[in-house]
Amino acid sequence: MNKELEGRVFPPTSPYLVGREKVREFSRAVFAQSPLNHDPEAARAAGYADVVAPPTFAVVIQEAGLALLLAAPDTGIDFSRIVHGEQKFTYTRQIVAGDELTAILTVTSIKSLGGNDMITAETAISDATGEHVVTATSVLVMRGTE
């Protein structure tokens, strides 16, 4: 893996408009049953603008950032050997339907450990006003070839 990737900041992803039905679909997929995830009235009564996305929905936005990383020609990343090692989300607020989200991915660390390479990518996700919503941090492990 290209060690010089460390510190690289990728350009912002195209804005992702969070749809109400997408939130409901994702909620069903992760077994999220709260009315806040499904019912706009319940969400508004609780002070949200619309249905609330489950905590891991940010992975969908992170994916657009990771796609830029994996498509870069000089990374030395072999996608077929990549395993998802760790994932973390740090929240300023929860994502709600109607949010228009942009992600900026930074490669914060590249390490070699026991024949494997580990890349840490931090994806900062902001709304249309530029306010931070959530940061998604992934550790990807590229298994050695031997």
Partner 1 sequence: MSDLVVGQELITGKVTLTRFSLVRYAGASGDFNPIHYRDDVAASVGLPGVLAHGMLTMGLAVQPVIDWMGDRGELVEYGVRFTRPVVVDGNGGVTVTVTAKVGAIEDDITRIDLTVSANNQTVLGKSQVRVKLHP
User: Which residues contribute to the site for partner 1 (CB under 8 A)?
Assistant: 22, 25-26, 28-34, 46, 54-56, 59-60, 63, 83-91, 94, 137
In the complex with partner 1, the residue whose CB is nearer, 2 or 34, is: 34
Taking the complex as a whole, the smallest distance from the CB of residue 25 to partner 1 amounts, in Å, to 5
78 vs 86 by CB, closer to partner 1: 86
Which residues, including other chains, have CB under 8 Å from residue 92's CB and lie 6 or more apart?
A: 131, 132, 133, 134
**Which residues have a Cβ under 8 Å from the Cβ of 131 and sit 6 or more positions away?**
92
Residue closer to partner 1 by CB (options 33, 112) is 33
Q: Decide: 51 and 43 in contact? Cβ < 8 Å.
A: yes
Query: What's the closest the beta carbon of residue 4 comes to partner 1, in angstroms?
Result: 27
Quote the least distance from Cβ 96 to partner 1, whole Å: 13
